[in-house]
Amino acid sequence: MAYERIDRPKGLLYHYTKKGNVESILKDGRIRRFQDRECWFCTSLDDTFRLMELTVMQEGKVYYDVYGFPRHYPKFVPEDYVVLELAPRFQNGDWVIWNQEFPKETPKEVLKLGEEFSHLKKGFRGDLRFYDNPQVYEVSEFITDQRKEIQMVM
């Protein structure tokens, strides 16, 4: 894993989480690091859903936890997730991206996917405070709306 420092993202940030976490997040007014050095965000709603497609929507596929142990993604239940639209408060701290590293013989399509994954999310080294009353998007509603749009196009 190769971390690269980046400039603080401008504008709103998006963070997906389980619904059960929302009350404590709103009460604290911050996104806390979860067993990691950083807390992770996207700079658009579309990027957030793409990140979810590459992670929590990968039912049964292997991923590595923050301790390096292999785990399997559980069944994805859209009703269990929300996306928070946050206006970050000014604070000191480093912003980073995590550049996925691969062996030299890695196929180009895997390299491309790794680069996309790395650039979808922005990490903040610390707990990110935000202004009150963030917008909360129900993932299940967004997925239903996306399916409707796809059907309308076809």
Q: What pTM does this model have? A: 0.87
- The gap from C-alpha 29 to its chain's centroid, in whole angstroms, comes to 18
Q: From 10, 87, 28, 80, select the one nearest 52 (Cα to Cα).
A: 80
Alpha-carbon distance 84 to 19, whole Å? 10
- pLDDT, tens only, 45-82: 999 999 999 999 999 999 887 777 899 999 999 999 99
> pLDDT at residue 38 above 90?
no
Of how many residues is the chain composed?
154
Please state, in angstroms and rounded to a whole number, the distance separating the CA atoms of residues 59 and 50.
Answer: 15
State both tokens at 120: 């979808």
What pLDDT was estimated at residue 150? 37
For 90-122, what is each residue's pLDDT tens digit?
778 899 998 888 888 989 998 899 899 999 999
Give the confidence band of 8 by pLDDT, cuts at 50, 70, 90: very high
* Rama region for 113: left / alpha / beta (φ>0; ψ in -120 to 50; rest): alpha
pLDDT at 139 over 80: yes
Task: For residue 85, give both structure tokens.
Answer: 């639209």
Contact 9, 79 (CB under 8 A): no
Q: What is the domain partition of the chain in residue ranges?
A: 2-153
Distance (Å, rounded) from C-alpha 47 to C-alpha 15?
10
Report the C-alpha gap between 125 and 98 in whole angstroms: 12
> What is the spatial distance between Cα 114 and Cα 97, in angstroms, rounded to a whole number?
12
Strand 62-64 relative to strand 39-41, pairing: unpaired
